Amino acid sequence: MNHRPARTARRASASPLFTPHTRDRARRRADRQQLHSARNRARKAAPAPAHRRGRTDDQGPMPQYPASGRPGPASARGGKLSLPAHRMTTATVAGAYPFLAEGGLGAEGTYIGRDVHAEASFTFDPFALYGKLDGFTNPNVLLAGVIGMGKSALAKSFALRSVAFGYRIYVPCDPKGEWTAVSAALGGTTIALGPGLPGKLNPLDAPPQPDGVTAEDWASEVRKRRLMLLGSLARTVLGRDLLPMEHTALDVALDCVVTHAAQSGRTPLLGDIAATLNNPGLLDIAGGELSGRLGDAARDLAHAMRRLVHGDLAGMFDAPSTVVFDPRSPMLTIDLSRLGGSGDDTGLVLAMTCASAWMESALADPNGGRRWVVYDEAWRLMRHAGLLERMQSQWKLSRGLGIANLMVIHRLSDLLTAGDAGSRGRALAEGLLADCSTRIVYRQEADQVLAAAGLLGLTSVESQAIAHLNRGRGLWKVAGRSFIVQHLLHPQELALFDTDARMH
């Protein structure tokens, strides 16, 4: 390495000629002469250095600093330091200048692209890293970046490339319908939901009982999941938390409906719940003495549930499922692109809640192998505490079930839109972030950098970097270690993942 400023911009390397000791002296001398004359020829052929002939604009950018180096006190030279040229091998450089580039995460996992600082391939597999990397406590991934930077393309690459490792991919809500092509290419299944479409999902479906779980335990687990779903749906429509008596009413209505459905040998439906909530007499009798006047308390709930049965989502989630969950399918996506076009997100969020509940209950089998669950466009869910709650329970279960959750948002401050500081929504969103050992940050707008740095604990260099990242390039924080990675796409992937088609 040479500390003296290079005299000509053209000289790429100062390494001396290496001649093996096995060569005799005459051969070595001949080699040196050959190199010397080649250098002379190259020097004559090259144009004169810029400072001798005057620079014109088409000769590329001017160097940022003069040849004497960075001016001012930051140069740490004070104008007096003059070191002789010093040459060393790259092995010594690594000792003299440590921490310039990360060592990498090893070669295990799916290929992502190029580690920009280390000039090496970058691979990543949350399951392979678990237990091997200090502080890597869960397989969940957060991916944030401004529009069009290639977040979905990265998520799709994870999906496509992980299939070769035997992993399965689930996309519980695809609001743009952009995963359908990927699923079709992998031989997976897509369920498209929307007004007039034949696909229907019953979010109250009971998943098959896993091995080693008693029937009693499983019944109580299924009941818990159903109650949580009903609570989320009601909270989303009402836009507020449920009152204690409303909780009781939901509880009682669910038990009532499940008992009736079991007697008639069919699966309970959301319509049955709505009808029971709308029947004050039945609720009061089923609730018993202690629960008070449940019928009156459930009035708001009954109207909330009505939206799913008679409103814009009528028929989609209030009928027996038209598809059976196939655990052997490599990929399953739920296309919700026909919903939420009116600018009101509530319909879409309700559909997402039902669709993800249906899928998550099917994923409850711990023997289902390793799986990715991708929440693309998750920023749309952030304002809905009910959905965040469901996601958090999935996040907590991730290790036990062998599931890696991937949440895609635009900016880190999306997490702050979940509620005011100290609110339940905010706590849930921050909990989701805390439960992601891997955070990938694509370009952030300048006004977002501070929020991102605060939430992720970025250094000043990392904060500067995320404001200037190009398409496909992201800052990867893996359990506290940092990488700048350029995601590389195969031409076939590029064609398959293209979301710019309508812009061309």
Interface residue list for ligand ATP (CB under 6 A): 145, 147-153, 471-472, 487, 489, 494, 497-500
**Residue 150 interacts with, from ligand ATP, Mg ion, none (CB under 5-8 Å by kind):** ligand ATP
**Residue 145 interacts with, from ligand ATP, Mg ion, none (CB under 5-8 Å by kind):** ligand ATP
Cα distance between residue 293 and residue 305, in whole Å: 19
Shortest Cβ 111–ligand ATP spacing (Å): 13
* Residue 80 token pair: 């007096």
Contacts of 106 (CB under 8 A, 6+ apart): 123, 128, 132
Shortest Cβ 150–ligand ATP spacing (Å): 3
Which residue's CB is nearer to Mg ion, number 152 or number 278? Answer: 152
Shortest Cβ 376–Mg ion spacing (Å): 6
Which residue's CB is nearer to ligand ATP, number 32 or number 471? Answer: 471
Cα distance between residue 178 and residue 156, in whole Å: 10
Which residue's CB is nearer to ligand ATP, number 59 or number 499? Answer: 499
Which residue's CB is nearer to ligand ATP, number 325 or number 497? Answer: 497
**Residue 31 interacts with, from ligand ATP, Mg ion, none (CB under 5-8 Å by kind):** none
**Helix ranges (DSSP H) in 441-498:** 449-456, 460-466, 491-497
Which residue's CB is nearer to ligand ATP, number 153 or number 256? Answer: 153
Cα distance between residue 350 and residue 334, in whole Å: 14
**Residue 494 interacts with, from ligand ATP, Mg ion, none (CB under 5-8 Å by kind):** ligand ATP
Which residue's CB is nearer to ligand ATP, number 152 or number 413? Answer: 152
Which residues contact Mg ion by CB under 5 A? 152
Shortest Cβ 492–ligand ATP spacing (Å): 11
Which residue's CB is nearer to Mg ion, number 127 or number 158? Answer: 158
**Residue 51 interacts with, from Mg ion, ligand ATP, none (CB under 5-8 Å by kind):** none
Q: How far apart are the first and last CA of the chain?
A: 47
**Residue 153 interacts with, from Mg ion, ligand ATP, none (CB under 5-8 Å by kind):** ligand ATP
For residue 149, CA distances in Å to 453, 459, 498 come to 19, 22, 12
**Residue 425 interacts with, from Mg ion, ligand ATP, none (CB under 5-8 Å by kind):** none
Shortest Cβ 154–ligand ATP spacing (Å): 7
DSSP per-residue codes, 57-113:
GGG-PPPSS-TT-S-SGGGS-TTT--PPP----HHHHHHHSTTSS---S-S-SEEEE
Own/partner long-range contacts of 253-262 (Cβ < 8 Å, ≥24 apart): 253/277, 253/283, 253/286, 253/298, 254/223, 254/226, 254/227, 254/230, 255/286, 256/282, 256/283, 256/286, 258/223, 258/226
Which residue's CB is nearer to ligand ATP, number 153 or number 237? Answer: 153
- Beginning with the edge strand found earlier in the chain, give each strand of the sheet holding 168-174 in spatial order: 120-124, 110-115, 481-487, 473-478, 438-441, 141-144, 403-409, 371-375, 168-174, 331-335, 189-192
Ranked by CB distance to ligand ATP, the top (closest) residue is: 472
Ranked by CB distance to Mg ion, the top (closest) residue is: 152
**Residue 143 interacts with, from Mg ion, ligand ATP, none (CB under 5-8 Å by kind):** none
Contacts of 233 (CB under 8 A, 6+ apart): 270, 304, 305, 308, 350, 353, 354, 386
**Residue 42 interacts with, from ligand ATP, Mg ion, none (CB under 5-8 Å by kind):** none
Shortest Cβ 103–ligand ATP spacing (Å): 24
Shortest Cβ 157–ligand ATP spacing (Å): 8
Please state, as a whole number, how many other Cβ atoms lie within 10 Å of the Cβ of residue 51. 11
Which residue's CB is nearer to Mg ion, number 177 or number 315? Answer: 177
Please state, as a whole number, how many other Cβ atoms lie within 10 Å of the Cβ of residue 330. 18
Which residue's CB is nearer to ligand ATP, number 276 or number 438? Answer: 438
Shortest Cβ 448–Mg ion spacing (Å): 17
User: Using an 8 Å Cβ cutoff, are 417 and 409 in contact?
Assistant: no
Shortest Cβ 408–ligand ATP spacing (Å): 7
Shortest Cβ 345–Mg ion spacing (Å): 17
Three-state DSSP at 28 gives helix
